[in-house]
Structure 1
Amino acid sequence: MNRDDKAALVSQLNDSFGRAKLSVVADYCGLKVSELQQIRIELKGCDSEIRVAKNTLLKRAADGTGTAVLADDFTGTTAVITSYSDPVGPAKVLTQFAGGHEKFVIRSAALEGEKIGVDRLEALAKLPSREVLLGQLLSTWNNVPTGLVRVLSGVPRTFVYGLQALKDQKEQEGK
């Protein structure tokens, strides 16, 4: 790889790191190419990507981005996973993959420029996805007006029932 290729790669990585909401550093030593392809495909489905590059290039690319907090973890065989939208999906994919592959080890992560530990990444993975959370929120919002209508309609309903009972009572007395 010549100097121009390295500069182009650093520029691409810097752009990726700058747009990333979630960045994860992992060790992939010992994984088969087919296993890397598998995780690459799974990550692509949740607007994320996995990149492998030399650590010095990764450090240069991370400068001035939210991923810079992970620069100390760029050692050994390093793969960097970047997510550009919802961080929950990639966190789920990575923790599931790491659970099934002992050779894939998550070192650290950064969520919007703040370094988080592996335990917080696993906690993030346990959250429902953005779509599920939005559905739950809409369901809650939908239930509030429905409950209000039921409460407000209860007063006139009981009044009408009372009038009907009074009418029935008067009819009984009149017979």
Structure 2
Amino acid sequence: MDRAEKRELVSTLNVQFKTTGVVVVAGYAGLTVADMTNLRGKARAAGGSVKVAKNRLAKLALQGTDLEPIAHLFKGPTVIVSSSDPVAATKVCAEFAKANEKFVILGGGMGTQALSPDGVKALATLPSLDELRAKIAGMINQPAAKLASVIAAPGGALARVIQANADKDQAA
């Protein structure tokens, strides 16, 4: 990798660190290429990305960002998993770590907050942004649906009484 490529990678990582919702740093020593491809596919499906970069270049890219406090995590073979949704990358990493003991979550960062491995796992247990939106929409819609059924109930009961009388008259 020549200097121009290194500068390009540092600037790309710097933009990624500034614009991403969450970054998870994990050790991947001993994983096969198939395992890494599997991780990349899962992250892509969740709206995230997986990046392997030299630790020195990653530390340079962290300078001037809110995630600068996580620079100490870059030791040994590390992989960077990031996503704009604060929960997506953490869920992918937590699930992948359960299935692959060689994949070790070292920590991460969200906004200006540095996360420990336990913090990353705790964040992974939260519902995703889409799930939260669906729950809120359901909560907002629920009172209106109940109100509509309460308002319609007396009219429906009256209609059933009239229909029963009409059926009774036709039978006689």
Q: Deviations over 1:17-73 (max 9, x none)?
A: 111110111101111011011101111112211111111111000111132121011
Normalised by the size of structure 2, how large is the TM-score?
Answer: 0.82
Q: Which residue of 2 aligns with 1:18?
A: 18
SS of 1:128's equivalent in the other structure is coil
Larger Cα Rg: Structure 1 or Structure 2? Answer: 1
SS of 1:66's equivalent in the other structure is coil
Q: How many Å separate the matches in 1 of 2:144 and 2:50?
A: 45
Give the aligned CA root-mean-square deviation in angstroms.
2.2
SS of 2:109's equivalent in the other structure is strand
Q: How many Å separate the matches in 2 of 1:11 and 1:76?
A: 22
What stretches of structure 2 of length at least 5 have no aligned partner? 159-172
Normalised by the size of structure 1, how large is the TM-score?
Answer: 0.81
Q: Which runs of 4+ in 1 moved over 3 A?
A: 146-154
Give the share of equivalent positions with the same residue, in percent.
Answer: 35
Q: Does 1:72 align with 2:93?
A: no
SS of 1:26's equivalent in the other structure is strand
Q: Which residue of 2 aligns with 1:171?
A: none
Q: How many Å separate the matches in 2 of 1:82 and 1:153?
A: 50
| Contact 2:17–2:23, Cα closer than 8 Å, also in 1 | yes
What stretches of structure 1 of length at least 5 have no aligned partner? 162-175
Shift of 1:151: 6.2
Task: For 1:117-136, list aligned pairs within 5 A.
Answer: 117-136=116-135
Number of matched pairs: 158
Q: Which residue of 2 aligns with 1:48?
A: 48
Q: Which residue of 2 aligns with 1:164?
A: none
Q: Deviations over 1:53-95 (max 9, x none)?
A: 11111100011113212101111111111112x1222211110
